[in-house]
Amino acid sequence: MTMHRLAYDSCIAACNDCADACDTCAGACLREEDVKMMARCIALDIDCAQLCRLAAAMMTRGGPAAAAVCAACAEVCAMCADECGKHEAQHCQDCAAACRRCAEECRQMATHQV
């Protein structure tokens, strides 16, 4: 394991967990009876999952832009958490929790408070 990977392990894990929760949520939202009502949730789930995976990869490599990407990731995770939190479905509630945790981890990483 690289030094960067060790320093950011908690944030990397939160990003990977969040990406998985967002993918699960998006898939489940697509199976909801009123898919149109879930459109914003699905869109944010997809964006959040992709950004989380990018942030995790950059931290793993120790990329120079990792902090900037983590700052953006924290913002998108917060947006996704807010949207998912509006829906009663368990997959949305689980996603909101994962997004909140990831947003906090990414904020700490972006400000080098890991």
**pLDDT of amino acid 17:** 98
What is the rounded CA–CA span in Å between residue 40 and residue 104? Answer: 22
Q: Among 3-12, 29-38, 60-69, 76-85, where is mean pLDDT lowest?
A: 3-12
Q: Which amino acid is at 88?
A: E
Calculate mean pLDDT across residues 28-51: 96
Question: CB–CB of 101/80 below 8 Å?
Answer: no
Residue 70, domain CATH: 1.20.1270.360
Residue 61 token pair: 């490599």
What is the rounded CA–CA span in Å between residue 75 and residue 61? Answer: 22
- Phi/psi at 28 (nearest 5 deg)? -70, -40
Residues 16, 27, 103, 62, Cα dihedral to 10° = 30
Q: Could you tell me the residue range of the domain that residue 38 belongs to?
A: 3-110
pTM score of the predicted model: 0.92
Number of domains present in the structure of the chain: 1
Calculate mean pLDDT across residues 35-55: 97
**pLDDT of amino acid 2:** 47
